């Protein structure tokens, strides 16, 4: 049985991307479901998040949705979730998704996905969780972000050890293998870390 059961997936809610992104998201969802994982996500029937979620469900996984009131009132949610949590705002939504999940995977997405991913990396850095954090780099989408992470490290805004907070997967299989074999490590920043370089 997987140590990780529920995987939180951050992804675009856009329906107008290059088709290759939907194909890759569907492939990841298929492998996620077949590997025995359930999916925590934004709860909508839109974009890459739905391409992934639909295939998780079709392959044996359950869907747990978390959506802020404003989006829920627009009616963009799906009835395919075994549970759909409605939160007052985006901040409480992120906290609920964190609470419900054992790991995080970021598929390509916009500013919301970037915010969610960044927060989870910092939470892990400070020791608030030891979750697997995977960046699924479909079509090299995250190459420039990863270059920027290296710039942050090279200019000493973060230590090289920050690379250990996340795993970059170049394929769905690589992401699933990482989740299946993940062993939590305490990477939290200490007081000594803060005052030394």
pLDDT tens string, the chain, 197 residues long: the values are 458 999 999 999 999 999 999 999 999 999 999 999 999 999 999 999 999 999 999 999 999 999 999 999 998 899 999 999 999 999 999 999 999 999 999 999 999 999 999 999 999 999 999 999 999 999 999 999 999 999 999 999 999 999 999 999 999 999 999 999 999 987 777 888 777 76
Domain assignment present for 1: no
Domain assignment present for 185: yes
Domain assignment present for 18: yes
Domain assignment present for 46: yes
- Write 79-85 long-range contacts (CB < 8 A, 24+): 80/45, 80/53, 80/54, 81/43, 84/43, 85/43
Q: What pLDDT does residue 1 have?
A: 46
Domain assignment present for 36: yes
CATH, residue 132: 3.40.50.450
Q: What pLDDT does residue 2 have?
A: 57
Report the number of distinct structural domains present in the chain: 1
Q: By residue range, what is the domain housing residue 15?
A: 6-195
| Cβ atoms within 10 Å of 40's Cβ, excluding its own | 29
Domain assignment present for 169: yes
Q: What pLDDT does residue 76 have?
A: 87
Domain assignment present for 146: yes
């Amino acid at each position: 049985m997987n140590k990780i059961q529920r995987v939180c997936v951050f992804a675009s809610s856009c329906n107008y991307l290059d088709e290759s992104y939907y194909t890759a998201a569907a492939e990841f969802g298929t492998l996620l479901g077949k590997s025995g994982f359930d999916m925590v996500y934004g709860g909508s029937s839109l974009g890459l998040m739905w391409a992934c979620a639909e295939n998780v469900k079709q392959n044996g996984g359950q869907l747990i949705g978390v959506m802020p009131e404003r989006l829920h009132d627009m009616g963009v949610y799906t009835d395919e979730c075994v549970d759909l949590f409605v939160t007052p705002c985006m901040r409480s939504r992120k906290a609920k998704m964190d609470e419900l999940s054992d790991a995080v995977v970021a598929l390509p997405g916009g500013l919301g996905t970037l915010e969610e991913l960044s927060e989870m990396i910092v939470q892990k850095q400070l020791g608030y969780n030891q979750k697997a954090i995977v960046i699924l780099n479909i079509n090299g989408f995250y190459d420039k972000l990863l270059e920027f992470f290296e710039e942050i490290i090279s200019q000493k805004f973060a230590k090289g050890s920050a690379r250990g907070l996340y795993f970059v997967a170049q394929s769905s299989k690589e992401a699933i293998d990482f989740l299946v074999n993940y062993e939590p490590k305490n990477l939290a920043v200490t007081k000594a870390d803060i005052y030394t370089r």
